[in-house]
Amino acid sequence: MARLFSPQADTIARLVIIGVIMCPLLLWGLAHALSGSDYATGRNTALPQPVPFSHEHHVGEMGIQCQFCHASVETNAVAGAPSLHVCMTCHSQLWTGAPVLAPLREAAARNQPLAWRRVTRLPDYVYFDHHVHLANGIGCAECHGDVAHMPLTRQAMPMTMAWCVACHRDPGAHMRARDALTDTEWLAHNSDAEAQAYLRAYLIGDTRRLTDCSTCHR
């Protein structure tokens, strides 16, 4: 009697079944890994700018405070980018002929703002308020990293939903004193006792609403 299947048919069938099960799992794992990678989140990426502004020079070496350029960071949801007036306050007298600053001078001559590219981006459906975070003890470096040592500004954190929610679930661990809010070298590593002390100092009681969907999605 002739065989319908070869001796290898059973092995092939098993491999096909395993492949059908494993391939979706492998694809899901790959997609998950890619979604959290620097390539997908933009972390550690420095975007080309009209002028290669160096926080390392302006903040780290010259000691210029964040609020000098980001004037609305303590009062509004948006931190704000420096205006031409702010830039030219110094550069109308310093490095006036530097080729690297030519776009700045040309923009000032046309009275048109520079088209800065946003480095740290959130999706349009995410609401973020800078002044609320600062008023409640979350320093600049928690999201922006140590910009005082960045020759070119890059996105320091992944800015994913999981990353944000982790902070909202345990905000005390990331809080700091008011005089350290703009200290870019100071990253919070608070103990449980320190976290509770900061929550009391900033009059934050129930933190459960921080993870409500409406807190960030409005």
pTM listed for this prediction: 0.82
What is the rounded end-to-end Cα distance, in angstroms, of the chain? 72
Q: Phi, psi (5° rounding) for residue 138?
A: -95, 115
- pLDDT tens digits along 196-213: 999 999 999 889 899 999
Mean pLDDT of 162-178: 95
Residue 66 lies in a domain: no
Give the residue numbers spanning the domain of 153: 122-216
Answer yes or no: is pLDDT of 107 > 90. yes
Taking the CA atoms of 9, 13, 15 and 16 in sequence, report the sign of the dihedral they define: positive
Q: How far apart are CA 73 and CA 143, in angstroms?
A: 13
Determine the pLDDT at residue 5: 61
Determine the pLDDT at residue 178: 94
Number of domains in the chain: 1
- pLDDT tens digits along 35-61: 778 888 889 989 999 999 999 999 999
Answer yes or no: is pLDDT of 1 > 60. no
Residue 175 lies in a domain: yes
Task: For the chain, give the mean pLDDT.
Answer: 90
Cβ-contact 70, 79 below 8 angstroms: yes
Amino acid (one-letter) located at 131: H
Residue 84 lies in a domain: no
Determine the pLDDT at residue 14: 79
Measure the CA dihedral 35/129/152/103, to 10°. 120
Determine the pLDDT at residue 142: 94
